Amino acid sequence: MAASPKAKPTALFDLKSAALSVLALHLKTPDMAALVAALNARYDAEAGLFLHEPLCLDLTALREAADPLDLAALLPVLRAHGFNPMAVRGGSALQHEQALQLGLIEAPEAAPGRTEAPTEPTAPEVAATAQPDAPAAEATAVPAAPVAGPGRTLIIDKPLRSGQQVYARGGDLIVMAVVNFGAEVIADGSIHVYAPLRGRALAGAQGDTSARIFAACMSPQLVSIAGTWRTFDGGLPPEVADKPAQVRLDGDKLLFDPLKF
């Protein structure tokens, strides 16, 4: 009697490459007192907005700095504002050695042509009078984000709750349900939300300045196009707040336009 073939063992895990989108903090001075004061002034009023947000420290501007950068003192300040410093790039060999000793990893230089969110949002023009910044989010642990294949449109037909993230790599993102406060939608192309947009929306994630953000009910926590971003603490102008509207980039300014049907 012939022996039965041996069953192939089931794989218990897979190791695959992943393209992740993270914020980069471009440091321009090693002066810790000045850095701490600037960070506190910028983010004290937005506690929780970047809760658990992965962060890469870009030290390109400090590579040749005569004064040392005290990363050991800087990291707790960033964590106090909700950031999760994970990597460093662009600095000197000594700066990278210090970062590695503090548990950070060494990240590659930025891809050519890619723009990233600045440490200070570019002052946008909103159709009429600009009203900056929205309340901070209460984020939970972020589950694995659905990701579209390159060049394809990703369609999400279920509500996104706080802490969830969706990324449409290489294409547009269409969301048929509400994007709740604390949720995040990201696309290399444009973002279309046919419901209330209350969370964070980042279009043109790889630097596409022609990308736009559309919402049937515009009430975002944060918007970004090709790295130019803005929050809305004071709310949006009445002509676009909680109404059908779009966000587009004009040079280095974010413009908000009502949509008329």
The 3-class secondary structure across the chain, one letter per residue, is CCCCCCCCCCCCCCCCCCCCCCEEEECCCCCHHHHHHHHHHHHHHHCCCCCCEEEEEECHHHCCCCCCCCHHHHHHHHHHCCEEEEEEECCCHHHHHHHHHCCCEECCCCCCCCCCCCCCCCCCCCCCCCCCECCCCCCCCCCCCCECCCCCCEEECCCECCCCEEEECCCCEEECCCECCCCEEEECCCEEEEEEECCEEEECCCCCCCCCEEEEEECCCEEEECCEEEECECCCCCCCCCCCEEEEEECCEEEEEECCC
Query: Tens-digit pLDDT profile for the chain (261 aa)?
Result: 555 566 667 778 877 655 566 778 889 999 999 999 988 887 776 666 666 778 889 999 998 988 999 999 999 999 888 888 999 998 898 999 999 999 999 887 754 333 333 333 333 333 222 233 333 333 233 344 455 445 678 999 999 998 888 888 889 999 999 999 888 999 999 999 999 999 999 999 888 999 999 999 999 988 999 988 888 877 788 899 999 999 999 988 899 999 986
CB distance 240 to 256 below 8 Å: yes
CB distance 175 to 193 below 8 Å: yes
* 192 vs 116: CA distance, rounded Å: 21
Question: Which pLDDT belongs to residue 213?
Answer: 97
Question: Which pLDDT belongs to residue 34?
Answer: 92
Q: List, as own/partner pairs, every contact residues 185-192 make where C-beta atoms lie below 8 angstroms and the sequence separation is at least 24, other chains included.
A: 185/160, 186/21, 186/145, 187/154, 187/211, 189/153, 190/214
Question: Which pLDDT belongs to residue 142?
Answer: 36
Of 183, 190, 175, 193, the residue nearest 226 (C-alpha):
190
Question: Which pLDDT belongs to residue 155?
Answer: 94
Question: Which pLDDT belongs to residue 192?
Answer: 97
Cα within 13 Å of Cα(156), Cβ side = 29
Question: Which pLDDT belongs to residue 29?
Answer: 93
- pTM of this prediction? 0.53
* 47 vs 133: CA distance, rounded Å: 12
